[in-house]
Structure 1
Amino acid sequence: MLTLERILTREAFARLEPEWDALLVQSAADTITLTFDWLSTWWDVFGEDRELMILIARDSGGELIGIAPLLKRTVQHFGVLPFKRLEFIASGEDEADEICSEYLDFIIKQGREAEVLGAMLEHLISQDSEWDEMVLTDILEESPSISILRNACEDAAMSWRILKTQHCIFLPLPRTWDEFLKGLSRGYRHKITRDWRAASSLDTELVVVDKPDDFANGFDTLVRLHQSRWIEKGRPGVFSSEKFTRFHTRLAAKLLPKGRLRIFILNLNGEPLAALYDFIYGRKVFYYQSGLKIADTPIHSPGILIRSYAMEVAIEEKLTECDFMKGDPAGYKSGWQGKLRGILQVRLARAQSKEAIYNTTSKVIAGLRSIKRAVS
């Protein structure tokens, strides 16, 4: 028999910390963006104007076997139509502040997804006045949650729609560096070996920042390199957001002592040339952000060079996968010969009068956009 409980306060959320990650590693959704550290830090930075709506499930023995890491807020569709929305914690930020917490999901003990998520959805659907729509962002296309959600919508006569499909690029790591190089295209292999030779003949140094005492200087270097490059392109850069920067400085204080975060800095003649910001979790490395100095040097591709150094370190550490996270499958990340994972944004909504207005208005706007594209 399952017992469901709502977690509505930050204090109750905090009390789950000892059990949260223990359940996460037993789930099919095990990833760094669903750890207690990541989600609680996000809530502390972005929780204003939102309400916690976490739902947990325990079995007859009191063991935690399911977490729905949800929040509630009110959104205005088309500027005039208010909807009470449920969504994952760590999603729904303003675009300028967006953390990009990929692979969000329900956290459920493997083998019990249908039972536990089914019970959670039945409970949530029964709460008529609590919410109008559920928008779940960056959930894996292959997640067992997808079919359970779709079936629940059909049973409850609710609407189901995939709003967006994107891709994360990942690269399985072989056991040796030589195997890794052989798996690359000839062009990329040439770029790496060319810049490795150039770097070996220059005054270069690779600095690895993985201790709390070194973080402030390393992070400052990353931010300066990243911001200067994007500002030169006429764009603000992600660290122009105070909330984005605050999230990462707070998260680092939690992850560094656990060996889950590091920054690589490539120096040339004593000056930073490139920086790379990584997360490490579950034998995987996640390449999250970078910064490059625009300079005329014998190193043609400092971004590729520092990533190749980081991959060599990951292979030496016997990590099994490099995840480039979300990106254009045809963009610069594609040169690493990676594979693709689909991630979805899905919307569930109750059948009600304002949902009909939403659907009609959405169709009208889509039609107008098609006409505009046709005549432009």
Structure 2
Amino acid sequence: MTTHPAWVQSWIDNYGDEVPFRFLVGEADGQVRGIALLTAGIEQKYGPFPVKTLHVGTAGEALQGTIKVEYNRLLVEPEYSQAFLDGLVNTIKNDTSWEVFHLDGFADNDLKPWEASFPNAAIRYRDSLYFDFEEAREKNSDVISQLGKSTRSNIRRRIKKLGNLETDWATNLTQGAEIFEELVDLHQQRWNATGEPGAFANPKFLNFQRQLIVQLIAEEKLVLFRVRDDSKTVGCLMLLVDQNRMLDYLSGFESFEEYPSIGLITHYLCMEEALKRGFSAYDFLVGEKQHKNNLSTHCNQLCWLTFNRPSLKTKTVKTYRKMKRFLQGTSVTQ
């Protein structure tokens, strides 16, 4: 999804005015074989120091308003992947403008070809939990039967107590836009109630999503799903579709005090419908939330690689971190 033309175009339209970017194009036999987006990060830091960063793909935005790219990858024909990667790495290493190089949100298998080119890079691994629909079909099973006993009990109890739940799966732009605006309202209400601005307070982030909906919903590359309780919207989801996998991207829910476990219930109902519609998996992406553990059956790993060019800034931060670990270890020993 992160290399889909609509995703990249929406990112450029909304972030390209503040994040410098360029494309590297690989050609063979007079034809384009691979394209990579390179971006220069803004407001990036290494420790306490501001640094100049270089990123591959739609990344490098300021933290407030970032789209948090996950399942990032190169867009290249398979038979040209190594040659394109070699050329891309050579270009990156010869670019003297950056101090820190980042690969953001790559799947572990997609990251492996990069590792030899950036030895001693720091790599952060994060779990991306998912439910395997294909496995459920092989077992001729529904979703709930594949979940843990306590989760099954909780879902059945909550649905029985709510009673009159209705669901909508957007099939056109008008319905999708309506669900999205409800999602935004619910999301903002919950975050504002805790004193936080909420993701959609950033107009670039909000417009990025609206543009995606217009371009992707007709291609069935984006799903907007809604749960109502007696005509009151209590949960909304926006999911991306990447190689027939559903990616849990954005959500908005009513107050958990008024509707306990409504996030769990909304995802569960969407999953049962997605199973019927032939999707292969339901991926919750990174982030530690209880409903992800409750509703998942498998796990992928996404990776964030950071490679620092030797400089006074990076040496200072590394020395400080080593000293901090040493002092913490000494304290524990004592």
**Equivalent residue in structure 2 for 1:193, among 152, 156, 173:** 156
TM-score (norm 2): 0.87
Q: Deviations over 1:256-285 (max 9, x none)?
A: 121222322211122111112222232211
Where 2:218 maps in the other structure, the secondary structure is: helix
Give 1:366's aligned residue: 321
Letter in 2 for 1:89: G
**In structure 1, what is the equivalent of residue 208 of structure 2?**
247
Q: Partner residue of 1:225?
A: 186
2:75 to 107, 125, 146: 107
Residues 261-276 of structure 1 aligned to structure 2 (within 5 Å): 261-276=222-237
CA distance in 2, matches of 1:73, 1:167: 25
AA paired with 2:265? L
Structure 1 equivalent of residue 14 of structure 2: 45
C-alpha separation in 1, matches of 2:246 and 2:176: 18
List runs of 5+ in structure 1 lacking aligned partners.
1-31, 155-159
| Residue type of the alignment partner of 2:303 | L
TM-aligned CA deviation for residue 310 of structure 1: 0.7
Which of 109, 116, 119 is equivalent to 1:142?
109
State the partner residue of 1:344: 303
- Shift of the 192–52 alpha-carbon distance from structure 1 to 2, 3 Å rule, reads same
Contact 2:36 2:75 in 1 (8 A): yes
User: Given the superposition, is the C-alpha separation of residues 317 and 78 from structure 1 closer, same or farther in structure 2, using an over 3 Å criterion?
Assistant: closer
Residue 70 (structure 1) aligns with: 38
Kindly tell me: are residues 295 and 112 of structure 1, through their superposed partners in 2, closer, same or farther at Cα, counting changes over 3 Å?
A: closer
- State whether structure 2 residue 122 is matched by structure 1 residue 162: yes
| CA-CA distance at 1:117 after TM superposition | 0.8
Name the Cα RMSD after superposition.
2.7
C-alpha separation between the residues in 1 aligned to 2:210 and 2:37?
Answer: 23
Superposition TM-score, scaled by structure 1 size:
0.78
Task: Report the identity percentage.
Answer: 19
C-alpha distance after superposition, 1:155-189 (max 9, x if no partner):
xxxxx412532221112112278343221100111
CA 1:221 to 1:76, structure 2 compared with 1: closer, same or farther past 3 Å? closer
Shift of 1:252: 0.9
Number of equivalences: 327
Q: How far off its partner does 1:78 sit? A: 5.9
For the residues of structure 2 that align with 1:245 and 1:373, how far apart are their CA atoms? 44
Stretch of structure 1 that moved more, 226-235 or 302-311 = 226-235
Aligned to 1:21: none
1:314 is paired with a residue of what secondary structure?
Answer: helix
1:50 Cα deviation after fit: 2.8
CA distance in 2, matches of 1:205, 1:363: 54
Corresponding residue for residue 240 of structure 2: 279
Cα deviation per residue 1:52-91 (whole Å; 9 max; x = unaligned)? Answer: 222111211x2322222212356565666653x3212321
* C-alpha distance 242-374 of structure 1, shift in aligned 2 (>3 A): farther
Aligned mates of 1:129, 1:50 — CA distance in 2: 18
Encode CA deviations 1:26-45: one digit per residue, 9 max, x unaligned: xxxxxx12211111211211
User: What is the aligned partner in structure 2 of residue 214 from structure 1?
Assistant: 175
Deviation, structure 1 residue 211? 1.4
In structure 1, the residue matched to 2:276 is: 316
CA distance in 2, matches of 1:223, 1:265: 12
Residue aligning to 1:29:
none
Change (3 A) 1:270 1:77: closer
8 A Cα contact 1:133 1:348, kept in partner: yes
**Which residue in the other structure is 1:290 paired with?**
251
2:108 is the counterpart of 1:116 = no
Displacement of 1:112 = 3.2
2:141 maps to: 178
Please tell me the residue identity of whatever aligns with 1:289. Answer: L
Work out the CA distance in 2 between the residues paired with 1:82 and 1:308. Answer: 42
Which of residues 31, 35, 54 in structure 1 aligns to 2:4?
A: 35
Unaligned runs of 5+ in 2: none
Maintained 8 Å contact 1:162/1:344 = no
